[in-house]
Structure 1
Amino acid sequence: MADTDPPRVVATDAALDLIRRLQAEHGPALMFHQSGGCCDNSAANCYLPTDLTIGAQDVHLGEVGGVPFYIGKLQYEYWKHTQLILDVIEGHGGTFSLEGSTGLAFHTRSRLFTDEEWAQIAAQVERDLA
């Protein structure tokens, strides 16, 4: 994506704080994967890179707090017109997510891209495929 393209994923200050907390505990190398709802509903789960294999079935949306954020291709098809907003709520995180025992949980919100933003993104995708 070009520097002027709208980010596909962003994080709130609360999410960035929790990321830093997890990095202090587990090390700087973390990753996110937006769950498709199989085990932990539809949630952004935080993992160590060795905990989950990322492959051709996943789409890299960007980074939040320097941490890569992925989503499965099938779920991406439903959400591709939206910007994902990583936030934090009180409660228990996903069973497999690193924040599960903190009393906090990562929570994904979304907003539709404007027509202008989507045109920028679609043009970049076309350039990437060419």
Structure 2
Amino acid sequence: MVERVIATEDALELITKLHDIHGDLMFHQSGGCCDGSSPMCYPKDEFRIGEADILLGYIGAAPFYISKDQYEYWKHTQLIIDAVDGRGGMFSLEGPEGKRFLTRSRVFSEEERTELS
């Protein structure tokens, strides 16, 4: 089964560490503004999901949401969430860890697009 969002081993390790510190987590793909287009990590239920948000999938046990507008730009790609050294978004939980989540992507193949529809 094709997944719309996946995480690298580095991201999964950071998710586990953050879960141990903060409990259940959730992600929202930022659409820009202050923190650019970063995957933002929050304690579960501390970010209000609205009618304009779509559940894209799960990374680790954490739900990953994206706004409908952002989804329109990314719908032909698989989002690959990675963790790299550096400062992340100031509102995202990984900031104090000296790491940041980063969204990479790849275009779905024709076969994968057919499977998704």
> Scaled by the length of structure 2, what TM-score is found?
0.97
Q: Secondary structure at the match of 2:18?
A: helix
2:20 pairs with 5, 17, 24, which one?
A: 24
> Scaled by the length of structure 1, what TM-score is found?
0.88
Question: Are residue 83 (structure 1) and residue 64 (structure 2) matched?
Answer: no
| Structure 1 ranges of 4+ moved more than 3 A | none
Q: Who wins on radius of gyration, i.e. which is larger?
A: 1
Output the CA distance in 2 between the equivalents of 1:39 and 1:90: 19
1:64 pairs with 59, 67, 80, which one?
A: 59
The C-alpha deviation readout for 1:3-23, integer Å capped at 9, x for no partner, is x3x000000000000000001
Once the two structures are TM-superposed, the CA of residue 89 in structure 1 deviates from its matched residue by: 1.0
Unaligned runs of 5+ in 2: none
Q: Which residue of 1 aligns with 2:43?
A: 48
Output the CA distance in 2 between the equivalents of 1:50 and 1:61: 17
Q: Secondary structure at the match of 2:49?
A: coil
Q: Which residue of 1 aligns with 2:95?
A: 100
Q: Which residue of 1 aligns with 2:32?
A: 37
Which amino acid is 2:66 matched to?
I
Unaligned runs of 5+ in 1: 123-130
Once the two structures are TM-superposed, the CA of residue 38 in structure 1 deviates from its matched residue by: 1.6
CA RMSD in angstroms comes to 0.7
Once the two structures are TM-superposed, the CA of residue 117 in structure 1 deviates from its matched residue by: 0.3
The sequence identity of aligned pairs, in percent, is 56
Output the CA distance in 1 between the equivalents of 2:114 and 2:51: 25
Which amino acid is 1:9 matched to?
V
Q: Which residue of 2 aligns with 1:109?
A: 104
1:9 pairs with 2, 5, 12, which one?
A: 5
- How many matched pairs? 117
Once the two structures are TM-superposed, the CA of residue 65 in structure 1 deviates from its matched residue by: 0.5
Q: Secondary structure at the match of 1:50?
A: coil
Q: Secondary structure at the match of 1:32?
A: strand
Once the two structures are TM-superposed, the CA of residue 94 in structure 1 deviates from its matched residue by: 0.6
